[in-house]
């Protein structure tokens, strides 16, 4: 009797495992179909190439590599990217960005990062690519993170393609905080960027995030991601902290000069008053 019970229990466990495998297989297949449909939709909507997969060393850049992403993460990423890209004029966007590539883990020179941007030529010219990592559980926070990574990396492309008053921005960098400038120092900082200063102190010094301490470009990037993804929160910070308000005005004027539609969206949004407010 005992042997029979053991046999039944083992059989139930094996059937459960088999059913789980079958269910997962069908679920992945459905997700793959959904991903292909969404890729087709986004490629047509934005005239930008969207793709995913592993990136071998040197495929795009000698220092950049990425691993194969899970199909469910690819789908979630594409949904969030669709929302992020919708913040920009479609025709204009396709002139500044050519490709978006999704990976799981993303490495630059051996350092883990959430995203990066690349130009076809090292001189900062040619076709542009944004690569985004998805090595996280898909939660509300990670979805926000993914959208902001896109805005973050796109702003870097814009800083290279268009004139930006970096000297004016750098004049607000605090004298008591070292600004990393070379790529290795910046990458090392991003691996453990938690500041010993509390967030209120950082706000008073003109940073919207402690990640902004990772060099001038990252400081600008963190403003851009918050300005576009959560302008209401950006407005609250600008109202409270004078240096943030002054730096925000620089970025608003920069983005307003990129495209008439972007300018109008800013004028119609919650950050309009900061265009002229010092």
Instruction: List, in sequence order, every beta strand (DSSP E) within the chain.
Output: 49-52, 64-66, 99-103, 106-108, 111-113, 115-121, 125-133
Residues 6 or more apart whose Cβ sits within 8 Å of residue 2: none
Same domain, 107 and 185: no
Structural domain total, the chain: 2
- What's the confidence (pLDDT) of residue 186? 80
Same domain, 66 and 126: yes
- What's the confidence (pLDDT) of residue 250? 98
- What's the confidence (pLDDT) of residue 238? 98
- Mark which of 161, 194, 211 sits at the end of a domain: 161
Same domain, 225 and 123: no
Which burial class, exposed, middle or buried, applies to 17 when counting CB atoms under 10 A from its CB (0-12, 13-18, 19+)? Answer: exposed
Same domain, 156 and 263: no
Percent of the chain with pLDDT over 70: 86
- Mark which of 161, 190, 220 sits at the end of a domain: 161
- What's the confidence (pLDDT) of residue 13? 45
- What's the confidence (pLDDT) of residue 63? 87
- What's the confidence (pLDDT) of residue 165? 97
- What's the confidence (pLDDT) of residue 77? 94
Domain that holds residue 237: 162-278
- What's the confidence (pLDDT) of residue 233? 97
- Mark which of 135, 161, 187 sits at the end of a domain: 161
Same domain, 3 and 124: yes
Same domain, 152 and 248: no
Same domain, 68 and 155: yes
Same domain, 153 and 169: no
Residues of the chain with pLDDT below 50 are 2, 9-26
Same domain, 146 and 192: no
Instruction: List, in sequence order, every beta strand (DSSP E) within 64-204.
Output: 64-66, 99-103, 106-108, 111-113, 115-121, 125-133
Same domain, 186 and 240: yes
Same domain, 83 and 149: yes
Same domain, 83 and 206: no
């Amino acid at each position: 009797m005992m042997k029979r019970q053991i046999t039944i229990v083992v059989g139930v466990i094996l059937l459960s495992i088999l059913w789980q495998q079958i269910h997962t297989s069908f679920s992945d297949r459905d997700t793959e179909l959904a991903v292909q449909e969404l890729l087709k939709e986004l490629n047509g909507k934005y005239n930008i190439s969207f793709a995913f997969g592993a990136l071998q060393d040197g495929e795009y850049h000698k220092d950049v590599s990425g691993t194969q992403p899970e199909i469910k993460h690819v789908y979630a990423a594409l949904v969030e990217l669709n929302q992020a890209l919708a913040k920009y004029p479609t025709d204009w966007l396709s002139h500044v960005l050519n490709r978006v590539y999704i990976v799981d883990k993303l490495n630059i020179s051996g350092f883990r990062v959430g995203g990066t941007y690349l130009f076809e030529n090292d001189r900062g010219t040619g076709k542009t690519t944004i690569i985004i990592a998805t090595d996280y559980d898909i939660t509300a926070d990670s979805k926000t993170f993914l959208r902001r990574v896109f805005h973050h990396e796109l702003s870097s492309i814009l800083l290279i393609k268009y004139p930006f008053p970096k000297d004016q921005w750098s004049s607000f960098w605090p004298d008591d905080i070292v600004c990393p400038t070379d790529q290795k120092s910046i990458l090392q900082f991003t691996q453990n960027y938690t500041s010993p200063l509390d967030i209120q102190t950082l706000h008073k010094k003109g940073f919207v995030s402690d990640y902004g301490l990772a060099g001038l470009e990252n400081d600008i990037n963190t403003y851009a991601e918050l300005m576009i993804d959560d302008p209401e929160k950006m407005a609250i910070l600008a109202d409270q902290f004078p240096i943030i308000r002054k730096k925000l005005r620089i970025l608003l004027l920069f983005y307003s000069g990129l495209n008439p539609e972007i300018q109008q969206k800013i004028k119609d949004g919650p950050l309009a008053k900061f265009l002229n407010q010092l």
